[in-house]
Structure 1
Amino acid sequence: MAGESYAIPPKDRAVEGILWYIQHHRLAGGDRLPAERVLCEEIGVSRTALRAGITRLISCGTLESRRGSGTYVCPPKPLNIFQETYNFSDAVLSAGLHPSSRLISAEVVEADEASAKKFGLTAGDPIFRMQRVRLIEGEPASIETAHVNLSLCPTLPEHDYTQESLYDVLLHEGGVRVEHGRERVSISRLNAEEAELLQQDEGTPVFYQSSLEFDKDMRFVEHCKSVILPTKFRFADNGEKNGMRSVAGEQWLKQ
């Protein structure tokens, strides 16, 4: 890459160069980047630009700095592609990682008028409400609060969701498969309670995701609100219709 001319700022060039180096040399999570001098020569940037690029990639969870040891590639982060992914566990497993959960609460409640209107239910209809801390490789990644249409699968409260997948239970016991959904993602900051559950500092920036999920007949299945650490999880849009995969863009989205 050295010797090529660029019309982009040095810091951005450094970021792209580091990502190219990782891919070209097939570095994996836990692998160490070479010394600054070597990397500067390889990608054609100054040390100032390189350090700025490394700082940016550390902030988004691609790299990590280990004091006295160097800079290392972080393990892959699970990717939620809006049109394709409905299941936290599947996204984590697809990244070659192990998902698990810690149950905070689980109860059956009645839909109030506001919830019933939002979900297309009748006030008083039963809803299974569950809050979990979702874990990746045993470390907290998100807090997930789900409201599920209990009439579709009345046995939901009988299961242990620290060991079982909610969507697997819905499918195998209720014959319910999520096939449509609407999702919104924004940026928020952890409050004191959330920070304690995720073992982070209060005020840490996080993704806030709100989703409504439906089955093939557009029956309401689940409303889920999640607070997600950006260092643990990623989002992408493949540009296709809901439920469609993008073969051409798949590799780029997963970089």
Structure 2
Amino acid sequence: MKDLKGFIDRNSVLPLYFQVKEYLRNQIQSDHYKPDELIPSERELSEEFEINRLTVRQAINELVQEGLLYRQRGVGTFVSTPKIEQPLTKLTNFSTDMQNRGAVPGAQVVSIQVIPSSKQVAAQLQLETGEEVLEIVRVRTADGEPMALERSYLVYDLAKPLHGMDMENVSLYEVLEKFCGLKLVKAIQTIEVAAVYPEEAGILEIGQHDAAMLIERTTYAESLERPVEYVRSLYRGDRYKFTIEMNV
């Protein structure tokens, strides 16, 4: 490891831990430290910077809190894989979001079936409880890595052509427009932190106590005054983040 003393300005008004933190951030963002790569230990960094080990620890702790680094007990500290960012200012589908970020979108089908609507699903789709809906459960992937477990509920009378169709690695919104004449134009969406069940954690390849986000969306089609889709998606908190643009 190269001599790092020159990166520290002891006469600066910036705290030493902050200077170390920004040095490490720059190394991560410039791809000097690559995703899932082990960074130097606290001891190594403190010796190279010629500063207190607790100062280095504070810098690393803050980068862990920001999600740029993660720790493995007994092994060390690693660079996190960058999160995929999705804006919340426009209605888009998962496939388009991934393609816009240079990733290959995918969809692995868990199940497709016609079921009676639950009270919750019926309320979201403005149906009577028990009316038929088409339930499509898929694992959404980016470059083959699971990102979300998606449960879509569609008004069956409007989405009959999809029953029995191969939904592997296709965009649901594109299929709805092409085969059902439903162009989705508006949605109401909520986001909240959620716990995951063991089977969900296994599907998403995360720990049972890892962070996850539950996204619920009710989507409306052009020229219809009623919703056609209600979807509950469980997103990996370590690989996804949402942004909101606000104007005065």
TM-score (structure 1 length as normaliser): 0.72
Q: Paired residue for 1:134?
A: 140
Check if 1:155 corresponds to 2:161: yes
Check if 1:232 corresponds to 2:235: no
Check if 1:178 corresponds to 2:181: no
**SS at 1:130's partner residue?**
strand
Give the alignment partner of residue 199 of structure 1, picking from 195, 202, 205: 205
Structure 1 position 151, deviation (Å): 3.0
**Is contact 1:57-1:63 (8 Å) kept?**
yes
What do residues 9-33 of structure 1 show as CA deviations (whole Å, max 9, x unaligned)?
876776566445655x476965979
**Is contact 1:29-1:73 (8 Å) kept?**
yes
Letter in 2 for 1:229: R
**SS at 1:172's partner residue?**
helix
Structure 1 position 66, deviation (Å): 9.2
**SS at 1:84's partner residue?**
coil
d(CA) in 2 for partners of 1:28 and 1:92?
24
Structure 1 position 153, deviation (Å): 3.5
After superposition, the Cα gap between the structure-2 partners of 1:49 and 1:60, relative to the gap in structure 1 and judged at 3 Å, is same
Check if 1:115 corresponds to 2:117: no
Structure 1 position 202, deviation (Å): 2.2
Check if 1:216 corresponds to 2:216: no
d(CA) in 2 for partners of 1:10 and 1:82?
37
d(CA) in 2 for partners of 1:112 and 1:33?
47
After superposition, the Cα gap between the structure-2 partners of 1:206 and 1:32, relative to the gap in structure 1 and judged at 3 Å, is closer
Deviates more, 1:123-132 or 1:217-226: 123-132
After superposition, the Cα gap between the structure-2 partners of 1:70 and 1:92, relative to the gap in structure 1 and judged at 3 Å, is farther
Structure 1 position 133, deviation (Å): 1.4
**SS at 2:246's partner residue?**
coil
Structure 1 position 235, deviation (Å): 0.9
What do residues 21-55 of structure 1 show as CA deviations (whole Å, max 9, x unaligned)?
655x47696597986759x97xxx97644444444
After superposition, the Cα gap between the structure-2 partners of 1:196 and 1:178, relative to the gap in structure 1 and judged at 3 Å, is same
**Is contact 1:60-1:231 (8 Å) kept?**
no
Structure 1 position 228, deviation (Å): 1.2
Aligned residues: 236
**SS at 1:116's partner residue?**
helix
Structure 1 position 115, deviation (Å): 3.4
d(CA) in 1 for partners of 2:72 and 2:194?
28
